Structure 1
Amino acid sequence: MIQIFNCEQNTPEWFAARAGIPTASEFHTVMASGRGGGESKIRKTYLYKLAGEVITAKTVEGYTNAHMERGHEMEADARRMYSFICDADIESVGFVRNGDKGASPDGLIGDRGMFEAKSKLPHLLIECLMRDDFPPEHKAQCQGALWVAEREWIDIVVYWPDLPLFVKRAYRDEAYIATIATAVKQFNEELAEIVEKVRGYGKPPAPANDVAALRQHPLMAG
Structure 2
Amino acid sequence: MSAPDIIACDQGSEAWFRARMGIPTASEFPAVMAKGRAGGDSKTRQTYLYKLAGEIITGQPMENFSNGHMERGKILEDEARSFYEFMTDTPCQRIGFLRNGRKGASPDSLVGADGLVEIKTKLPHLLIETLLRGEFPPEHKAQCQGQLWVAEREWIDIAVYWPQMPIFVTRAFRDEAYISDLADAVDAFNAELDLTVAKIRAYRQPRAA
- Give the TM-score category using the shorter length: over 0.9
Map 1:60-75 onto structure 2 (within 5 A).
Answer: 60-61=62-63, 67-75=69-77
Deviation at 1:175, TM superposition (A): 0.7
Deviation at 1:20, TM superposition (A): 0.1
- SS state at 1:71 partner: helix
Deviating more after overlay: 69-78 vs 34-43: 69-78
**Aligned-partner Cα distance in 1 for 2:8–2:114:** 18
* Aligned counterpart, 2:13: 11
Deviations 1:106-140 (A, max 9, x none): 01011100011000011111111111100011000
Conservation of the 8 A alpha-carbon contact between 2:145 and 2:179: yes
Deviation at 1:179, TM superposition (A): 0.9
Given the alignment, which residue of 166, 169, 172 partners 2:171?
169
In the superposition, the TM-score normalised over structure 2's length comes to 0.93
* Aligned counterpart, 2:120: 118
Show structure 2 runs of 5+ residues with no match.
none
Deviating more after overlay: 68-77 vs 97-106: 68-77
**Aligned-partner Cα distance in 2 for 1:63–1:43:** 22
Deviating more after overlay: 56-65 vs 16-25: 56-65
- SS state at 2:73 partner: helix
**Aligned-partner Cα distance in 1 for 2:197–2:63:** 20
Map 1:97-176 onto structure 2 (within 5 A).
Answer: 97-176=99-178
- SS state at 1:156 partner: strand
Residue identity opposite 1:148 in structure 2: V
Conservation of the 8 A alpha-carbon contact between 2:14 and 2:64: no
1:84 correspondence with 2:86: yes
- SS state at 1:42 partner: helix
Length, aligned pairs only: 204
Conservation of the 8 A alpha-carbon contact between 2:17 and 2:64: no
Tell me the percent identity.
61
**Aligned-partner Cα distance in 1 for 2:35–2:65:** 22
- Identify if the C-alpha distance between structure 1 residues 16 and 184 changes in structure 2 by more than 3 Å, giving closer, same or farther: same
Conservation of the 8 A alpha-carbon contact between 2:8 and 2:95: yes
**Aligned-partner Cα distance in 2 for 1:70–1:128:** 21
Deviation at 1:68, TM superposition (A): 4.4
* Aligned counterpart, 2:55: 53
* Aligned counterpart, 1:209: none
Deviation at 1:72, TM superposition (A): 2.3
Residue identity opposite 2:140 in structure 1: H
* Aligned counterpart, 1:95: 97
In the superposition, the TM-score normalised over structure 1's length comes to 0.88
**Aligned-partner Cα distance in 2 for 1:128–1:112:** 25
- SS state at 1:177 partner: helix
**Aligned-partner Cα distance in 1 for 2:8–2:109:** 11
* Aligned counterpart, 2:31: 29
Deviation at 1:63, TM superposition (A): 7.4
Larger gyration radius, structure 1 or structure 2: 1
Show structure 1 runs of 5+ residues with no match.
205-222
Deviation at 1:203, TM superposition (A): 8.2
**Aligned-partner Cα distance in 1 for 2:45–2:74:** 25
**Aligned-partner Cα distance in 2 for 1:112–1:141:** 17
Conservation of the 8 A alpha-carbon contact between 2:25 and 2:104: yes
